[in-house]
Amino acid sequence: MKDYKFIDLFAGIGGFRIALESVGAKCVFSSEINKYSCATYEANFGDFPDGDITRILAKDIPEHDILCAGFPCQPFSQASVPKYRSMGLKLGFEHETQGTLFHDICRILKYHKPKAFILENVKHLKGHDGGNT
C-alpha cells in the first residue's frame, strides 16, 4: 500500500489514518467539524482537518485511491435507532443532519471514483429500513 493515497472524512481523532499510515499509505486530505477532534488530530498528525464536508466541493479534494469515512451513523445504527425513535427524531436518510452526510460520501465517490472505500462499521446499516438503505 506504499503508493496509495487516501482521504479521511469525518476523521475524528484519526483512527483510519493510523491504520492506513501503518501500512504505508499517505493521507492527502482530511475533514472534521468537531473542534476538539480537530485539535487532537492536529496534535497526532501535524495536520488540521478541513471543516464541514458539505461545504467542500469534490473537485477541491485531491485525487486519492481510498476514501475513508467515519460518518455519523446514529440514525442508522441498531444501538441508536430505539433512542432516536423515543425522542421523536427522524431515522436514516430522513435525519436532517446526520442522515444526509452519507450523500456527501456518495458525491465524492462518484466524482473521484477511488479504487476502494472504507466506511465505519455500523451494525444494522445493511438491514436499516428493511434493507433499502
Active site residue 38: no
Among 27, 38, 68, 73, which one carries the catalytic annotation? 73
Q: Which residue has the cell 481510498?
A: 66
- Phi then psi dihedrals of residue 68, to 5 deg: -115, 140
Instruction: Spell out the residues 6+ positions from residue 17 whose beta carbon is closer than 8 angstroms to its own.
Output: 8, 11, 27, 30, 44, 45, 68
**Phi, psi at 112, each rounded to 5°:** -90, -25
- Residues serving a catalytic function are 73
